[in-house]
Amino acid sequence: MRRIVEPEIMGEAKQAKAYDAANFSDSHNRRVEVFKELAPPQAQRGEFLDLGCGSGDLIFRFLSALPEASIIGVDGSEAMIALARDWVERRAEFNERASFVVAFIPHDHLPRSRYATIMSNGFLHHLHEPQNLWKTIQELATPDTFIFVSDLRRPKSMEEARRIVEERASNEPEILKRDFFNSLCAAFEIPEIELQIAQAGISGLAVRALDEIHLVVYGFLE
C-alpha cells in the first residue's frame, strides 16, 4: 500500500481531547519498557527532549519510570500542549521535571541543551517531510545523546489497516478510530525509514520492528 499523508498537526480541541482520553496504557507502557531495555544507564537520567510530544501522556509515564530524568516536550499543536500543561499543573511531583514548548520543526529557537536522550514517539508518521525530524535530531544531538524514535508501521493494505483498527480500537470514539486508520496509512515501512536515515547522512541508528504495527529507531549518532 502506498503511503497516504495525514494532517501534520492535531490542532482541533475536540481531536486533541479524544486522543488524550483514549486508553494507550499498554502501548505507552511498552514504549517505556523498550526504552529501558535499549538505553544505557547514562541515557536514563538527565534532560530529555521529546519531539512531537502530543498531550504528554508518554512524558508522564517516562518521568514515573525514570526518577532522575526531566523532559522538555515540543509539539506544534497548541491544543495538545494546553492539555499537557494542564495535567502537569495538577501533579506537583512533575512540576519541576516537565516543561512544554509550542513549536514546529525545524525551528531555530528550540531549547538547546546537552540532552541525555532525544526521543519521539508516534510523531514521524505525521510529517509530510520526514527529514525535518532527522535534521532536527542531527542539530540538537551530541555523540553522547541517545536517540529513541518509536512509531507505527504501515500495513500492507487498507483492508489490513481496517482490521487493525477494529481489533485494537473498536470501543474508541469514531474520531479516534478515524485518526488511527489515517495514521496507519501515513506510517512508514522499515526500509523507508532506513533510507531516510541514510539520506540524512546519519549512521549509528538501528531500526527494528517491535510488533505487528510498531517499530523503533535507536542508538547514538556516529
pLDDT band at 16, cuts 50/70/90?
low
If one counts every other C-beta atom within 10 angstroms of the C-beta of residue 128, the result is: 10
Instruction: Note the pLDDT of residue 12.
Output: 57
pLDDT band at 24, cuts 50/70/90?
low
DSSP E strands, the chain: 46-51, 69-75, 98-102, 117-121, 146-152, 205-209, 214-220
Q: What is the arithmetic mean of pLDDT over 121-149?
A: 97
pLDDT band at 93, cuts 50/70/90?
confident
d(CA 134, CA 124): 9
Q: Which of 59, 101, 99, 56 is nearest to 78 (CA)?
A: 101
Tell me: pLDDT of 21 over 70: no
Give all domains of the chain, ordered by start, each with its CATH number: 13-155+187-220 (3.40.50.150)
Q: Which of 79, 77, 69, 86 is nearest to 148 (CA)?
A: 69
User: What is the percent of the chain with per-residue pLDDT over 90, rounded to a whole number?
Assistant: 74
SS (H, E, C) 38-100: HCCHHHHCEEEEEECCCCCHHHHHHHHHCCCEEEEEEECCHHHHHHHHHHHHCCHHHCCCEEE
Tell me: pLDDT of 14 over 70: no
Largest CA distance in the chain: 46
Q: What is the arithmetic mean of pLDDT over 68-91?
A: 92
pLDDT band at 19, cuts 50/70/90?
low
Give tens-digit pLDDT for 163-208.
999 999 888 888 889 999 999 999 999 999 999 999 999 999 999 9
